[in-house]
Amino acid sequence: MRRHGRPPGLGVVLAGENPASEVYVRNKMGTVAAAGCRAELFRVAAGATLAEALAVVAALNADEAIDGILVQSPLPEGMGADAAQRVFDAIDPAKDIDGCHPYNVGLLVQKRPRLVACTPLGCIELLERERIPLRGKHAVVIGRSDIVGKPMALLLLHRDATVTVCHSRTADLPMVARSADVLVAAIGRACFVTRDFVKPGATVIDVGINTLVTEAEVFRCFPPGSRKRAQFAEKCRVLAGDVHPDVAEVAGALTPVPGGVGPLTIAMVLRNTVTAAENRVS
Ligand code: NAD
């Protein structure tokens, strides 16, 4: 073990006032700090300009005690449609904890990953720890975002799965999904993946985190007498994944929401922070 006289440092940039983002950031920073790293929050006001957000990133790039930078999405709409990409482009690739910089994306494409997006990395960790076979298996990823769907597909491909990426324009999605041995849902639509999307025995990874606030949505997703309906009656809101709970009756394995991919994502924030720190001092 080598000593460097300081803990790994993570700088988290939180722009605007999104309640879900507040929770995610609190959980990520809490875990990183509990492991002995330094975790610092940098707030950017909801009405701030893109230039102000970029200035925060530039200061973190220059800060020697910061090894990793995480910009929580989404950014306020007022910053413009391409704000997230502009901000990710500005992060020093060596400090890019969510692997969003084009340089890190390129390394991933070429199977030389350095820093990879935390959520897909967490999904892979989950599959590998559960010893789910990937080589030669058909993996279907629903969702093609830069932060989840695309890196997920590449990580599966690099583990010798045959990968199909589906999206909002895919024809006969249930039929394609039903051919999957491993099905990853990263859509952002509550309980969208129903049992007719799932081959019996398939492994299903539910990445979605959706907050339900209407009775109609809750009734569509959860049966009478369920714990979720009781939770909704008490709190007027409840979390649901992209996968309908009935899928548990068909799937070989299904990740829960909450408590599945979310905690693994947070663990990967910690891992990437330590990796970035090690890379910077070596
Ligand atoms: P996104 O909105 O950027 O992408 C959603 C994708 O779903 C798009 O590629 C789109 O083509 C696809 N899609 C939308 N409607 C569809 C339809 N009807 N049929 C097929 N495909 C459709 O979202 P994202 O950032 O990739 O996140 C996806 C979900 O994962 C969200 O619920 C988000 O909250 C959740 N998420 C969870 C974690 C975690 O830590 N668990 C991390 C990131 C995102």
Could you confirm whether 98 is annotated as catalytic? Answer: yes
pTM more than 0.85: yes
Determine if ligand 1 sits within 6 Å of the CB of residue 238. Answer: no
Write the CA distances from 204 to 167, 173, 210, 241, 247, integer angstroms.
17, 15, 17, 11, 9
Q: What is the pLDDT of residue 2?
A: 63
Give Cβ neighbours of residue 248 (< 8 Å, ≥ 6 apart): 254
**Backbone φ and ψ of 8, nearest 5°:** -55, 140
User: Which residue's alpha carbon is at the smallest distance from atom 11 of ligand 1?
Assistant: 167
Per-residue pLDDT tens for 110-145? 999 999 999 999 999 999 999 999 999 999 999 999
CA of 187 to the centre of ligand 1 (A): 3
Determine if ligand 1 sits within 6 Å of the CB of residue 119. Answer: yes
Q: What is the pLDDT of residue 144?
A: 98
Instruction: Please provide the average confidence, as pLDDT, over all residues in the chain.
Output: 97
Taking residues 211-230, report their average pLDDT. 96
Could you confirm whether 28 is annotated as catalytic? Answer: yes
Per-residue pLDDT tens for 12-32? 999 999 999 999 999 999 999
- CATH 3.40.50.720 in the chain is located at 118-260
d(CA 167, CA 149): 9
CA of 180 to the centre of ligand 1 (A): 18
Contact 176, 166 (CB under 8 A): yes
Determine if ligand 1 sits within 6 Å of the CB of residue 120. Answer: no
CATH architecture of 118-260: 3-Layer(aba) Sandwich (3.40)
Q: What is the pLDDT of residue 1?
A: 55
Taking residues 38-47, report their average pLDDT. 97
Place of tokens 């910690």: 270
Which helix H or strand E contains 33, and what residues bound it? Answer: helix 19-34
- CATH 3.40.50.10860 in the chain is located at 9-112+264-281
Give 223-229's long-range contacts (Cβ < 8 A, gap of 24+): none
Per-residue pLDDT tens for 182-207? 999 999 999 999 999 999 999 999 99
Fold of 9-112+264-281: Rossmann fold (3.40.50)
